[in-house]
A and B are shown apart, each in its own frame.
Chain A
Amino acid sequence: MSIPFGAATRLVAEREVKVLVRTKGFWIGFAVILIGLFALTVLPKVFDSPTSVAVVGDSATESLTDAGFDVRRVDDRAAAEELVRADDVDAAVVPDGPSGVRVIALTEPPNEVLTALVTAPPVDLLEASEVSPGRRQVVIMVFALVFLMFGMGGAAIAQSTVTEKQTRIVEILVSTIPVRAMLAGKIAGHTLLTLGQVAVLALAAPIALRLGGQGELLAVVAPALGWFVPFLVLGFVLLASMWAVAGSLVSRQEDLGSSMGLVIILVMGPYFGVMFFSDNATVMGVLSYVPFSAAVAMPVRLFTGSAGVWEALLSMGVLAASVAAIVLLAGRLYAGSLLRTGGKVGLAKAWARAD
C-alpha cells in the first residue's frame, strides 16, 4: 500500500511549491528582481536626455546638431558661460580666433562635445567588441546577481527542513515515506520554482531590452541567456541539496545560522569571484569549471565570447556529475541527521547514521 518513490517525491514537491507561492516574501522577492531588470534597461532611456550645448555664432551649430546634441543659440560668450554655470547646459562652444572654436565646461572636459568637433583619424579595431565595456559589466553583474538571489532563495529549503524537525512532523513523514523521497521532493519543488522564475526572467529580459532600445545588446546577450538557464538550474540543484543538509543539522530555526555558513560561502563565492575577476581570463577559466561557480562563470564567458560551445558542454557535464555526487552525499547526511534532535548535529555524526 505504500506509495511509490516518485509519487511521494511529487507530493512533497507539490507541498513545498504550494506553501512557498503562498508566502508574500516569495512574490516580493521575484517582483524586486523583475522590476530591477526593467529599471536597469528601460530607465536609462527615459532619463537619458541628449547633451545640451550653448553655441555662439554659426560655426559649430551644424555639426553639433547633426551629432544629436541639444543646441541652444546664445548671443555672446558671457551668456554662454552663465548657462554653463547655472548647469542649464553641459557645455558651451564659442568662436575663438578667425576660424576656430573654444569649448567651455564646468568641471571636466566634455569629451562627447570634443569628439564631435574634431576630425578623428580612422580607427581599425582588430578585435572589435560588440558591447561597450560599461554595458558588458552591467550584464555580468546581472548574471551574478540573479545567481546570488536564487542561490540565497534556496535557504527556504533549509527553513522548511528545520520546520519539519522543530514541529516533529518529521516523525510522521519518516514513518510514512522514504527519507530520500523527502529530500528529492524538496529539491524538485524548489528547483521547479526557480526554473519557473528564471524562465520568466529570460523571457522578460528581451522585452526589457527592446523597450530600452538596446536591441543590439539583445543579440549578444540572447545566446548567453539561453545557456544561463540550464546552468543556473543545475547550480541551484547543487545548492539546494546543501541547503537541505544545512537545515537537517539543526533542530530549531534559531540555530539555522550556525549551519548555513558553508552554503552561504558557496553562494557568495561565485558571485564575488565573477564580479571581481570578470576581466581575468585565467581566473574566469577556472571558475567556469568549478561546479559551484560554473553556473555563473560559464554563461559570462559565453557572453564575453571567451568560451566556445564545447567548453560550455564540458563544464555542464562536470556540473551535472557533481550534482549527482553531491545529491547522493546529501541524501546520506540528510537521513543521518533528520531524526537527531537536541543540539547541532556534527557532519561526522550525520554521516555515521546510527539511527
Chain B
Amino acid sequence: MLTVTKISRSFGDHQVLHDVSFDVRPGRMTGFLGANGSGKTTTMRIVLGVLGADGGTVGWRGEPITPATRPRFGYMPEERGLYPKMGVADQVTWLARLHGLDRAAARANTDRLLDQLGLADRAGDLLESLSLGNQQRVQIAAALVHEPDVLILDEPFSGLDPLAVEVVLEVVRGHAARGVPVLFSSHQLALVEQLCDDVVIISDGRVTAHGTRDELRTRYGTSRFEVVVDTDAGWLRDVPGIRVVELDGPRAVFELDDGARDQDVLRTALDRGAVRSFTPVVPTLDEIFKEAS
C-alpha cells in the first residue's frame, strides 16, 4: 500500500497542499480527481520525489520511500516527453535498464509492451517521427517497462483517441490485476467513474473526499428516487414522508425523509395504477465532485 500522510507544500507564500492524506491500495485503480491547479500534479511529484514536501511523509509498504525504492515506481508525468531524437525501442529499453533491469529483460519487456500497445512496427523509428497519440503510447510503455510495483500516472488519458484509451487501459488494468497500486489523476470525471475502484478528490490543496467509488456514492447520495407512472404523478405531493424534487407529468423525482421507506411509496403508486419505472438516483462523480469541492 502507498500511504500519503499529511503532506503540505508551499511555493513562496502560496500554500498549494494542506495536510494531504490518502492511501493507494494494492491491485486497485485509484482515481485522483481535482480541478486544474488543485494540487494533483504537485502531490504526485512529491510522491515520486521529484519535489520535496514541506511536511508529511509518503510511505510504501509501511516504510518511508527512499531513493532506493523509488526506481520500482512507474511514473508518467503530466507534461509528456521522451528523447525526440532517440529510437522508440532504444529509449524504452534504456529507461528499463536505468530502473535496474538487465539488458535482456529490458529488451524483452520493451518488445512485449510495444506489441501490446500496437507499436511493434514503429520500434525502430525516432520518437519525433511518431504522431502525438503514438508518442503518448510510448510514454505509457516507458512508465510500465520495468514492471513497477507502484504506478503513478498523471492524466494518462488526456490526448489519447478513444481507441488508444482502450489499449492503454487494458495494459494498465493488467498491472492492477497483478496487485500493483495504480494512482491516476484526471479531470475527466466520466472516465474516472468508469475506471476507478477508489477515488480521492482534491480541491484547493485539500483532500475533500476519499474512499471507494461506491462508498462515496452512498455517502454523497441522498435517498433520491425517480418514478415513472402512466398518469400525472402530482399525487406524490400528498404522500407523507417524502419531498418531491422534480415533477414532470408522469415522471417525478422525490427524496425520502428519515424513517420513510421507498417500498411504501412504490406500493402506494401501484395502488394508483401502472408503474413503468422506479429507480434509486445514484449521484455521479460529477455531482459528488461538485459537492465535495
Give the B-binding residues of A (Cβ under 8 A).
1-3, 8, 11, 15, 18-19, 23, 163-164, 166-169, 171-178, 339, 355
Contact = CB atoms under 8 A, between A and B. Distances in A.
13 contacts: A1-B71, A1-B72, A3-B98, A11-B98, A167-B80, A167-B83, A167-B84, A168-B79, A171-B50, A173-B98, A175-B50, A175-B73, A178-B67
A2 B77 contact: no
Contact of B84 (A11, A163, A177): A163
B125 to A, nearest CB: 14
B82 A169 contact: yes
B89 to A, nearest CB: 13
Contacts of B100: 1-3
Given A1-B100, A2-B100, A172 B142 contact: yes
Contacts of A169: 81-83
Contacts of B67: 2, 178
Nearest to A177: B98
B68 interface: yes
Contact of A1 (B52, B69, B79, B82): B69
Contacts of B95: 172, 176
Contacts of A2: 67-71, 100
A164 B84 CA distance: 10
Contacts of B94: 11, 15
A190 B45 CA distance: 30
Interface of A is mostly: helix
Interface of B: 45, 48-52, 67-73, 75, 77, 79-86, 90, 94-95, 97-100, 142-143
B86 A19 contact: yes
B274 to A, nearest CB: 60
Contact of A175 (B49, B52, B82, B97): B49
Given A8-B98, A171-B77, A172-B77, A177 B51 contact: no
A18 B90 CA distance: 10
CB-based closest 4 A-B pairs: A167-B81, A168-B81, A175-B48, A171-B77
Contacts of B79: 168, 171
A167 B128 CA distance: 11
Contacts, number: 75
Contacts of B90: 18
A205 B85 CA distance: 34
B286 to A, nearest CB: 30
A23 B126 CA distance: 13
Contacts of A355: 51-52
A19 B49 contact: no
Residue from A1, A172, A178 having most chain B Cβ neighbours under 10 A: A172
A73 B235 CA distance: 136
A171 B48 contact: yes
A166 B45 CA distance: 17
A176 B70 contact: yes
A180 to B, nearest CB: 11
A23 B51 CA distance: 34
A176 B98 contact: yes
B77 to A, nearest CB: 4
Nearest to A8: B98
Nearest to B68: A2
B162 to A, nearest CB: 25
Given A172-B77, A172-B142, A174-B49, 6 more contacts: A1-B71, A163-B83, A169-B81, A174-B50, A339-B51, A355-B51
Contact of B80 (A11, A15, A23, A168): A168
Residue from B86, B90, B98 having most chain A Cβ neighbours under 10 A: B98
A237 to B, nearest CB: 23
Nearest to B53: A355
